[in-house]
Each structure stands twice: as structure tokens, then as C-alpha cells.
Amino acid sequence: MRVVICGAGIAGLSLAWWLERAGWEVLVVEHAPGQRGAGYLIDFFGPGYDAVERMGLLPRVRERARTVAGVRYRDRAGRVTCELPYDSLVRLQRGRVVTLMRGELEDLLFEALGPGVEFRYSTSVDAVATAADHVAVTLTTGEVERADLLVGADGIHSRVRELAFGPEWRHLRSLGYHTAAYLFADPELGARVGDHLEMVEAPGLQAGVCRLDGERLAAVFAHRAGADPLPEDPRERLRERYASLGWLIPEVLDRCPEPGQVYYDEVAQIEAASWARPRVALLGDACQAVSLLAGQGAAMAVAGACVLAEELLRDGDAVAAPFRYEERVRPAVVRKQRAGRRIADWFVPASRTRLRLRTAALRLAARPGLVGLLGPVLRTPDDRLADLAAHR
């Protein structure tokens, strides 16, 4: 059996891992010139945590865990308004949570692959034609690859989705925010940041900074953007929008790297009417982006790959398996997306009054014994990998 996977992110690499071990020929095409690296900090829990455990990779995931003492919220002037200890999240997930860089998860998945996976970088998919017994995938290099299955694991702006399932506007639901992230090195600033994820907020915008090690820091931004188009120069937009925030944020903005090293995108969910066609499947953010508001996209990408692999390996039927996988995973994604949308208005409150109310709610949730108040946001009832099969 042969598969072409478009996208060497968390979803694509996870699926490559399963199928290579089962003896499939795996070709991964990735439009970036190499593995992308760091990204931003993610909390990794739920079905994805179970999936890496099943893959035997949990010890390697835990080795890369970052220790964050908690989230500390500050106002424009740098005054602390509220503190949420990291322990709260750990307790809520019964210890089954790891905080690490998205790129580190990708790196360890990449390192866990055997030599049987072929990678072609700076390459994408240009055309797809399905036949009864194969799928013909035309690459941007002009080569035509014949395979049993094509998987679009190419993220929120998926090219495979566009080619096989229709244009992006049909599937993408914007949540009205833009987000950005980058890494930079500054040991002196790192010492001032300390061990917390420090979030500075004002109505409509939020900027965070966190120390990763002795040298590097990760910065993350989110602001209400309405229908604003994405900027040509993310650095410029970040300076414009966040210059009014005080404390350490002006220094963080001064250290913004070249545009190519800045992640900048809208915050959106993908609600594709279908994730499956005979011999074509979508995976990860390409079909199930829950958005950073729901915060489980990476976890669901690994879990989705595990379920797709299980269905493919059940009988090797690349026509039927994509449909069975979608049927198992979609209900959990729909619930997580709903939970994400429920908090969309409160993620970065638009007014001073709403910001105060949200801060009061977080303070309450931070009290011992009341962390369960965060449960409806952080945990939906299907938070174990085994539950993705429960409705069948």
C-alpha cells in the first residue's frame, strides 16, 4: 500500500509513523524547505496524550516538557490582575498534560520515523485525480505520484482540501481574532520574565511572553481583528496594534525577528462538510481545526492520525476507511469547536467591563478546589482516545 501525505506537521508525521510501521510506502510532501521548528508553546493533553502513549512516545514527549509555574495576567501598566497556577491545569487533567513547543513535538515525531518514509520539501500538490483502484497526485514539481491514498494534513489553509473538497471560504469560520507568535533570544529579559507565562492585556488585545530556557523566550499575541485582512508585514502590524501595551511588551516587540520567522494568521475553525472521499482523507487542522481558543488542535491531530491509521490497517480499504475515521472523530471535534466558540467573546474581552468580569472569573477558578470551573472549556466529555470509538 502506498500513501502520499501532504504536510509534515504534527498530523502528517503522526500518520506517517503508523503507516510506515505497518509496512506502507509513505511519501510526505511539504511546501516548506525543511522541518519548520519551534512555533509556540502548546498544552498537550486529552486524546492526543493517550495517542502518544499508545505510540510508545510518551517518555520522549515528557522529556521535552517545559516547566511553567502558571499564567500571570497584568494590565497595561504591568500590575498583576490575576494568577492561574499551572497546577490547576495539571490537576484538571489528572497529571496527563505536557507543555512543550509545537516544533519540539514535530521534531520528536520526525525522529521517531524509520528510514522508509520519503520526504520531498519545497513541494506541494497541484492536482488530484481519483480512479477506482488508485489516486493520481500531481505535484508542483510536475511529477505524478500514483498511490492508494492521498491525505491532506496541510493545515488550516489546506491545498488538498481546496482541490478535493472545494474552496476555503466554504470551510473556514473566522473567530474574529488575529494571532502571532515568535521566538527570540535575550537572557537578561528572560531573567525578568521568570517562570510564568506573563500575559499583558487591554480591551481587545493580549500579548504574552514566556522564558523557554536560559536564552530563548516565546512571544504570543492575539487581538480582535474583525474582518481585517492579514498584513503583508506582520512586524509592522504587531508594532501598530500592541505598542500601547506596557511592562515588557515594547522590549518584546523590539526583538521581533524577520517576517519569515513570525507566525501570523487569523484564528479560525475548519468546519468541512466532509473529510473523506474514496482514496482521499483530510487530517488535523485541514478538517478539524478547533482554534487556539479550544486549545486542543495538536492533541486532536495526533489522535485523528491514530484513528485514521487504525481504520486503514483494519482491512487496508483506502476507499472506505476515510469515511469510518471521519465518523469516529467528527463528533468530538464538533463538541470541542462548540466549546471554543462559547468562550470566543471572553478570550480577549472587548471592553474594560468585560475584561474585569473575565479576570474575576479567572481569580475564582484559581482558588483551591474551584479549578473545575475551567472544566467546561478545557475538557469536553470525549477527552480520552478510547472515547473516539464510543458511539460506534
Ligand X SMILES: Cc1cc2nc3c(=O)[nH]c(=O)nc-3n(C[C@H](O)[C@H](O)[C@H](O)COP(=O)(O)OP(=O)(O)OC[C@H]3O[C@@H](n4cnc5c(N)ncnc54)[C@H](O)[C@@H]3O)c2cc1C
Among residue numbers 300 through 339, which ones bind ligand X (CB under 6 A)?
301
Q: In this complex, which beta carbon is closest to ligand X, that of residue 6 or of residue 57?
A: 6
Tally of residues, the chain: 392
For the chain, the straight-line distance linking the first and the last C-alpha, in angstroms and rounded, comes to 26
**How many CB atoms within 10 Å of residue 300?**
26
User: Dihedral through CA 361, CA 362, CA 363, CA 366, nearest 10?
Assistant: 130
Number of residues that bind ligand X (CB under 6 A): 34
Phi, psi of 282 (to 5 degrees): -100, 150
CB of 119 to ligand X, least distance (A): 11
11 part of the interface to ligand X, by CB under 6 A: yes
Which 3 state secondary structure label does DSSP give 61? helix
| ∠ CA 94-95-101, rounded to 5° | 130
CB of 346 to ligand X, least distance (A): 17
Alpha-carbon distance of 250 to 247, in angstroms, equals 7
Q: Supply 353's cell numbers.
A: 467591563
Site string for ligand X, 83-122 (x = CB under 6 A): -------------------x--------------------
298 part of the interface to ligand X, by CB under 6 A: yes
List all residues 6 or more positions away from 49 whose beta carbon is below 8 Å from its beta carbon. 58, 93, 96, 97, 98, 299
Q: In this complex, which beta carbon is closest to ligand X, that of residue 79 or of residue 338?
A: 338
297 part of the interface to ligand X, by CB under 6 A: yes
CB of 368 to ligand X, least distance (A): 24
Among residue numbers 26 through 55, which ones bind ligand X (CB under 6 A)?
29-32, 36, 40, 42-44
160: Cα within 13 Å, side-chain hemisphere = 36
Site string for ligand X, 157-196 (x = CB under 6 A): --x-------------------x-x---------------
Among residue numbers 260 through 289, which ones bind ligand X (CB under 6 A)?
284-285
Provide the binding-site residues for ligand X, judged by CB under 6 A: 6-12, 29-32, 36, 40, 42-44, 102, 124, 153-155, 159, 179, 181, 220, 284-285, 292, 295-299, 301
